[in-house]
Protein backbone atom coordinates (compact mmCIF):
# COMPACT_ATOMS: atom_id res chain seq x y z
CA UNK A 1 0.00 0.00 0.00
CA UNK A 2 1.28 3.47 -0.87
CA UNK A 3 2.50 5.71 1.91
CA UNK A 4 0.95 9.14 2.33
CA UNK A 5 3.95 11.44 2.34
CA UNK A 6 2.17 14.80 2.46
CA UNK A 7 -1.29 16.28 2.90
CA UNK A 8 -2.02 19.90 2.04
CA UNK A 9 -5.25 21.62 3.05
CA UNK A 10 -6.76 24.62 1.24
CA UNK A 11 -9.67 26.27 3.01
CA UNK A 12 -12.77 26.90 0.91
CA UNK A 13 -14.28 30.35 0.62
CA UNK A 14 -17.74 30.99 2.02
CA UNK A 15 -19.89 29.01 4.42
CA UNK A 16 -21.15 26.23 2.15
CA UNK A 17 -20.94 22.49 2.64
CA UNK A 18 -17.39 22.36 1.23
CA UNK A 19 -15.10 23.34 4.09
CA UNK A 20 -11.74 22.74 2.38
CA UNK A 21 -9.89 21.04 -0.44
CA UNK A 22 -6.93 18.72 -0.04
CA UNK A 23 -4.08 17.34 -2.07
CA UNK A 24 -2.39 14.11 -1.03
CA UNK A 25 1.09 12.95 -2.05
CA UNK A 26 1.55 9.19 -2.37
CA UNK A 27 5.05 7.76 -1.96
CA UNK A 28 6.43 11.19 -2.83
CA UNK A 29 5.77 10.30 -6.48
CA UNK A 30 2.08 10.96 -7.18
CA UNK A 31 -0.20 13.81 -6.11
CA UNK A 32 -3.99 13.60 -5.95
CA UNK A 33 -5.70 16.99 -6.09
CA UNK A 34 -9.35 17.92 -5.77
CA UNK A 35 -10.22 15.95 -2.64
CA UNK A 36 -13.06 17.77 -0.84
CA UNK A 37 -13.74 18.02 2.87
CA UNK A 38 -17.46 18.54 3.39
CA UNK A 39 -19.71 18.94 6.41
CA UNK A 40 -23.34 18.01 6.86
CA UNK A 41 -25.60 17.28 9.82
CA UNK A 42 -23.66 14.05 10.51
CA UNK A 43 -20.26 15.75 10.57
CA UNK A 44 -17.20 15.92 8.35
CA UNK A 45 -16.65 13.60 5.42
CA UNK A 46 -14.27 13.32 2.47
CA UNK A 47 -15.18 13.18 -1.22
CA UNK A 48 -12.70 11.89 -3.78
CA UNK A 49 -12.04 13.93 -6.96
CA UNK A 50 -14.80 13.47 -9.53
CA UNK A 51 -16.11 14.84 -12.77
CA UNK A 52 -19.58 15.24 -14.14
CA UNK A 53 -20.49 13.04 -17.07
CA UNK A 54 -22.66 13.97 -20.03
CA UNK A 55 -25.59 12.25 -18.34
CA UNK A 56 -25.25 14.48 -15.26
CA UNK A 57 -23.89 11.81 -12.95
CA UNK A 58 -20.58 12.15 -11.14
CA UNK A 59 -17.79 9.61 -11.44
CA UNK A 60 -14.70 9.47 -9.26
CA UNK A 61 -11.54 10.10 -11.27
CA UNK A 62 -9.44 8.79 -8.39
CA UNK A 63 -10.51 6.28 -5.80
CA UNK A 64 -8.87 3.74 -3.49
CA UNK A 65 -9.29 0.12 -4.50
CA UNK A 66 -10.15 -1.17 -1.02
CA UNK A 67 -11.64 -0.08 2.29
CA UNK A 68 -8.30 0.07 4.12
CA UNK A 69 -6.75 2.39 1.53
CA UNK A 70 -9.81 4.65 1.59
CA UNK A 71 -9.72 4.86 5.40
CA UNK A 72 -6.00 5.67 5.32
CA UNK A 73 -6.55 8.61 2.95
CA UNK A 74 -9.71 9.86 4.70
CA UNK A 75 -8.08 9.71 8.15
CA UNK A 76 -4.93 11.54 6.95
CA UNK A 77 -6.99 14.28 5.26
CA UNK A 78 -9.30 14.81 8.25
CA UNK A 79 -6.38 14.82 10.69
CA UNK A 80 -4.55 17.47 8.62
CA UNK A 81 -7.75 19.52 8.38
CA UNK A 82 -8.36 19.40 12.13
CA UNK A 83 -4.72 20.33 12.86
CA UNK A 84 -5.07 23.39 10.64
CA UNK A 85 -8.18 24.62 12.46
- Return the percentage of the chain with pLDDT > 90, whole number: 93
Residues 6+ apart with CB under 8 A from 59: 50, 51, 53
pTM for the full model? 0.90
Give me the pLDDT at residue 44, please: 96
Long-range Cβ contacts of 63-72 (<8 Å, 24+ apart): 68/1, 69/1, 69/2, 72/1, 72/4
The domain tally of the chain equals 1
Residue 85 pLDDT > 90, yes or no?
no
- Return the percentage of the chain with pLDDT > 70, whole number: 100
CATH of the domain at 61: 3.30.1120.40
Summarised one tens digit per residue, pLDDT across range 55-77 is: 999 999 998 999 999 999 999 99
| Structural domain range at position 59 | 4-84
Residues 6+ apart with CB under 8 A from 25: 4, 5, 6, 7, 31
Amino acid sequence: MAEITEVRIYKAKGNGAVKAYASVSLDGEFVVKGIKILENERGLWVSMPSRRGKDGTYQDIFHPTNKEAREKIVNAVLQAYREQL
